[in-house]
Structure 1
Amino acid sequence: MGERILALNIGRPNLHLWNGMTVNSAIGKKPIEEVMLTKDGFTGDSVGNREFHGGRDRAVCFYPYEHYEQWEREFQKPLKSPAFGENICAANYLEKDVYIGDIFSLGDAIIQVSQGRIPCASISKHNRVDQLLSRVVETGYTGYFFRVLQEGLVNAESQLLLIDRKQEKFSVLTGNQIMFHKHNNREAIEEFSQVEELAEVWKSKLIKKISK
């Protein structure tokens, strides 16, 4: 499994006027040709809402290219990349095919899948599609995050290459379904929370679900 990335984007939070409200968000990232990837993320990249983004377990945001085609068909509207505020985009890395703990090389860096993305309302507001957020959550087509195991230089021609797989039970999509929809499946929640490579913030959320 190896594909050249189709987009490399970074950006800092800016004020956006959405539906008459001013919101601070970094969703409006811009393409870049080359950038250093550190344990804290790409140099020059940052987040606006730390509840859903940022931190070492969420250093890199990925969104699958195929979903663009689906959402454009469904909503009859073109979406300009990076519509989902992703740092990188590539084909053939759908949530159902990528597993928590998967390790990839990206340019000179080594990165590991840590969690699915918990999307926020900025997705709908930024793209001016009211139902987009709810559909992303419903389908589990959220994209996902990586932590950085080895820092390195990444460019717009870099290849995302799978180099190790830690487990084959919990794909990103399976994890999303447990997090968003299987609130009463205690066994699945408990087992998923014990995946060593899962981001700590997700482990905490799952443990809270169990304790309720």
Structure 2
Amino acid sequence: MKVLTVNLGRPTPSAHSDAADRLTGIGKQPADGPVRVADPGPKGTGGSGLSGDAVCDLRHHGGTDQAVYAYAREELDAWEKVLGRPLANGAFGENLTTSGLVVSHARIGERWRIGDELVLEVTSGRIPCRTFAGHMGESGWVKRFTREAATGAYLRVIRPGTISSGDPVEVVHRPGHDITAAMEFRATTTERTLLPGLLAAGDALHGETLRRARAYAADADTA
């Protein structure tokens, strides 16, 4: 298991961006050298966990629970067959394009050590937005991506470090529950009845998902 490329985005104008300045960092390219990764701080003020990577819409992206976005090369390959066109590493706006990991089925709270120092923890799947749809230029993209639930995974930084393309990935902790990034995604989009079950993942969940799951469970108890 390894990181094929570490991908960074620069601010680029986009008519589809929800940022006030209409810029987006979704168009990511492989970095030339090592990249420092650290906790960027709370959502709304903190952007990407990767040094040199742009997050332009801080209302919806970035922050501690979405510090790093990973997507599997294997899943990109599957999408290439569906879309009938090549998808380069970074095509989905992912910071890490991996090999040997089925990222969408990583468990919430699963921890990865990358290189010698960095440790990341899976928090959630990725919900597609109109910026992503505009970037892809595919008809009905949000619905198609949602239907497939091949979401990739957002991760928080447990221990900062410097990483490079080609670094090995080791799963150093895998929780006993079966809540995956894809299941979290389905619970927060199309299958809300799954929300209470997400509580098995505890505080490892993305903070917004944890609050939503607790509220849904409380409402169900009083119904």
TM-score if structure 1 supplies the norm length? 0.87
Paired residue for 1:191, among 179, 191, 197? 197
Q: How does 1:1-212 map to 2 (within 5 A)?
A: 3-17=1-15, 23-32=22-31, 33-40=33-40, 41-95=49-103, 97-107=105-115, 108-183=117-192, 185=193, 188-193=194-199, 195-210=202-217, 211=219
Using the TM superposition, give the Cα deviation of residue 205 of structure 1 relative to its aligned residue in structure 2, in angstroms: 3.2
Q: More deviation in 72-81 or 151-160?
A: 72-81
5+ residue gaps, structure 2: 41-48
CA shift in 2, pair 1:101/1:130, >3 Å: same
Counterpart code for 1:159? P
Deviations 1:136-176, CA, capped at 9 Å, x for gaps: 11111111111001111101121111001123320112222
Amino acid at match of 1:134: K
Q: What is the Cα deviation at residue 61 of structure 1? A: 0.5
CA distance in 1, matches of 2:144, 2:102: 16
Count of paired positions: 204
Shift of 1:23: 3.7
**Which residue number in structure 1 is paired with residue 45 of structure 2?**
none
Higher helix share: 2
Equivalent residue letter for 1:135:
R
The answer as to whether partners of 2:104 and 2:125 remain within 8 angstroms in 1 is no
> Take 1:208 and 1:13, find their aligned partners in 2: how far apart are those partners?
36
Between 162-171 and 147-156, the greater mean CA deviation after superposition: 162-171
Note the C-alpha offset of 1:89: 0.9
